[in-house]
Amino acid sequence: MSLHIEIEHHRTAIIVRLKGELDHHTAETVKLRMEEALNKSNVNHMILSFKELSFMDSSGLGVILGRYKQIKARDGRLVVCDLNPAVHRLLEMSGLFKIVSTYDNEKQALGSLEAVS
Protein backbone atom coordinates (compact mmCIF):
# COMPACT_ATOMS: atom_id res chain seq x y z
CA MET A 1 0.00 0.00 0.00
CA SER A 2 1.17 3.53 -0.65
CA LEU A 3 1.08 6.69 1.38
CA HIS A 4 -0.73 9.93 0.60
CA ILE A 5 0.59 13.13 2.20
CA GLU A 6 -1.65 16.16 2.58
CA ILE A 7 -0.13 19.37 3.94
CA GLU A 8 -2.20 22.37 5.01
CA HIS A 9 -0.67 25.66 6.09
CA HIS A 10 -2.66 27.16 8.92
CA ARG A 11 -2.13 30.51 10.60
CA THR A 12 -0.40 28.97 13.62
CA ALA A 13 0.71 25.53 12.42
CA ILE A 14 1.39 23.21 9.54
CA ILE A 15 -1.04 20.29 9.51
CA VAL A 16 0.29 17.08 7.96
CA ARG A 17 -2.28 14.37 7.23
CA LEU A 18 -0.93 10.93 6.42
CA LYS A 19 -3.09 8.29 4.72
CA GLY A 20 -1.84 4.76 4.20
CA GLU A 21 1.39 3.21 5.47
CA LEU A 22 4.38 5.06 6.91
CA ASP A 23 7.25 2.59 6.64
CA HIS A 24 10.80 2.31 5.30
CA HIS A 25 9.46 2.63 1.74
CA THR A 26 7.73 5.98 2.36
CA ALA A 27 9.63 7.55 5.30
CA GLU A 28 12.15 9.51 3.22
CA THR A 29 9.40 11.10 1.09
CA VAL A 30 7.45 12.09 4.21
CA LYS A 31 10.58 13.55 5.80
CA LEU A 32 11.39 15.62 2.72
CA ARG A 33 7.83 16.93 2.31
CA MET A 34 7.65 17.93 5.99
CA GLU A 35 11.05 19.64 5.87
CA GLU A 36 10.03 21.50 2.72
CA ALA A 37 6.79 22.68 4.34
CA LEU A 38 8.67 23.92 7.42
CA ASN A 39 11.30 25.70 5.34
CA LYS A 40 8.65 27.51 3.28
CA SER A 41 6.60 28.56 6.30
CA ASN A 42 7.07 31.12 9.02
CA VAL A 43 5.12 29.12 11.62
CA ASN A 44 6.95 27.03 14.19
CA HIS A 45 4.35 24.38 15.06
CA MET A 46 3.30 21.17 13.35
CA ILE A 47 0.33 18.83 13.78
CA LEU A 48 0.60 15.26 12.55
CA SER A 49 -2.84 13.81 11.90
CA PHE A 50 -2.87 10.02 11.73
CA LYS A 51 -6.63 9.59 11.24
CA GLU A 52 -6.15 7.56 8.07
CA LEU A 53 -2.72 6.11 8.81
CA SER A 54 -3.13 2.34 8.69
CA PHE A 55 0.43 1.30 9.60
CA MET A 56 3.67 2.76 10.94
CA ASP A 57 7.00 1.11 11.73
CA SER A 58 10.23 2.33 13.33
CA SER A 59 11.06 4.34 10.20
CA GLY A 60 8.00 6.46 10.97
CA LEU A 61 9.25 6.98 14.52
CA GLY A 62 12.50 8.29 13.06
CA VAL A 63 10.60 10.76 10.87
CA ILE A 64 8.63 12.02 13.88
CA LEU A 65 11.71 12.34 16.08
CA GLY A 66 13.64 14.18 13.36
CA ARG A 67 10.83 16.69 12.83
CA TYR A 68 10.48 17.10 16.60
CA LYS A 69 14.14 18.13 16.80
CA GLN A 70 13.79 20.47 13.81
CA ILE A 71 10.70 22.15 15.27
CA LYS A 72 12.14 22.35 18.79
CA ALA A 73 15.16 24.19 17.34
CA ARG A 74 12.66 26.80 16.08
CA ASP A 75 11.06 27.06 19.56
CA GLY A 76 7.96 25.32 18.23
CA ARG A 77 5.85 22.33 19.21
CA LEU A 78 5.06 19.10 17.41
CA VAL A 79 1.80 17.40 18.35
CA VAL A 80 -0.01 14.32 17.04
CA CYS A 81 -3.71 13.56 16.80
CA ASP A 82 -6.25 11.00 15.61
CA LEU A 83 -4.20 7.97 16.63
CA ASN A 84 -5.51 4.48 15.97
CA PRO A 85 -4.79 1.88 18.70
CA ALA A 86 -1.80 0.29 16.90
CA VAL A 87 -0.04 3.60 16.22
CA HIS A 88 -0.86 4.81 19.75
CA ARG A 89 0.78 1.69 21.19
CA LEU A 90 3.88 2.13 19.00
CA LEU A 91 4.31 5.76 20.09
CA GLU A 92 3.70 4.82 23.72
CA MET A 93 6.22 1.96 23.67
CA SER A 94 8.82 4.16 21.99
CA GLY A 95 8.59 6.81 24.70
CA LEU A 96 7.64 9.58 22.24
CA PHE A 97 4.70 10.60 24.42
CA LYS A 98 7.27 12.00 26.87
CA ILE A 99 8.15 14.71 24.34
CA VAL A 100 5.18 14.86 21.94
CA SER A 101 1.64 15.69 23.08
CA THR A 102 -1.34 13.80 21.68
CA TYR A 103 -4.89 14.99 21.03
CA ASP A 104 -8.11 13.30 19.99
CA ASN A 105 -8.56 15.40 16.84
CA GLU A 106 -7.14 18.27 14.78
CA LYS A 107 -9.40 20.85 16.40
CA GLN A 108 -8.03 20.07 19.87
CA ALA A 109 -4.46 19.95 18.58
CA LEU A 110 -4.84 23.30 16.84
CA GLY A 111 -6.43 24.82 19.94
CA SER A 112 -3.48 23.71 22.07
CA LEU A 113 -1.05 25.42 19.71
CA GLU A 114 -3.06 28.62 19.39
CA ALA A 115 -2.99 28.90 23.18
CA VAL A 116 0.83 29.00 23.17
CA SER A 117 1.35 31.17 20.08
Please give, one letter per residue, the 3-state secondary structure of the chain.
CCEEEEEEECCCCEEEEEEEEECCCCHHHHHHHHHHHHHHCCCCCEEEEEEEEEEECHHHHHHHHHHHHHHHCCCCCEEEECCCHHHHHHHHHHCHHHCCEEECCHHHHHHHHHHHC
What is the rounded CA–CA span in Å between residue 50 and residue 18?
6
- pLDDT tens-digit series, residues 37-85: 999 999 999 999 999 999 999 999 999 999 999 999 999 999 999 999 9
Q: For residue 111, is pLDDT > 70?
A: yes
**pTM, full prediction:** 0.95
Pick the CATH number of 3-116 from 3.40.1280.10, 2.170.150.20, 1.10.10.10, 3.30.750.24: 3.30.750.24
Q: For residue 101, is pLDDT > 90?
A: yes
Domain ranges of the chain: 3-116
